[in-house]
Amino acid sequence: MVLVGSEVVGFIALSNVIRWNFRSCSVGYWIAEAHNGRGHATAAVRRICELAFTELGLHRVEAGTLLTNEASQHVLSNSGFSRIGVAPKYLEIAGSWQDHVLFQRVADGD
C-alpha cells in the first residue's frame, strides 16, 4: 500500500519473483487520481526497488507500461529504470492484447 499519513492513496507490489541466475521480479503500481502529480508513485517505486535489491537480494526489477502511459514512463525514468523496448501484444487489457514499453533497473554495482 502507498500511504499518506494513515490514508491509502495507492498500491505497489512486486511479483514474478524468480531467483537462481535471474534474480528478477516485476513491479506494478497505481495511485488514486486525486493524488496524482505529487511524486507518490516515484517515491514508492524508488523505495520498493531498494527493498528488492537489499532485503530480497534481487538483481533486476522489470516494469511495463502502455505506449500511451507517459506519466508511468516518467515515474520509471525518474526512478533509475532504462527503457528496453516495445514488446508487441504483451498484455491483455480490456479484451485485446496491447503493446507495452518494457523497462528495467538493475542493482547498483551488478
Ligand X SMILES: CC(C)(COP(=O)(O)OP(=O)(O)OC[C@H]1O[C@@H](n2cnc3c(N)ncnc32)[C@H](O)[C@@H]1OP(=O)(O)O)[C@@H](O)C(=O)NCCC(=O)NCCS
Question: Which long-range contacts link 81-85 to residues 24+ away (Cβ below 8 Å)?
Answer: 81/105
Q: Which of 18, 71, 87, 91: binder of ligand X (CB under 6 A)?
A: 71
Residues numbered 34 to 53 that lie near ligand X (CB under 6 A) are: 36-42
Considering only the stretches 47-55, 69-77, 88-96, 102-110, report the one whose residues sit in contact with ligand X under the rule CB under 6 A: 69-77
Question: Which long-range contacts link 92-99 to residues 24+ away (Cβ below 8 Å)?
Answer: 93/66, 98/66, 99/66, 99/67
Q: Which of 23, 25, 31, 53: binder of ligand X (CB under 6 A)?
A: 31
| Residues found near ligand X in the complex (CB under 6 A) | 29-31, 36-42, 65, 69-72, 74-75, 78
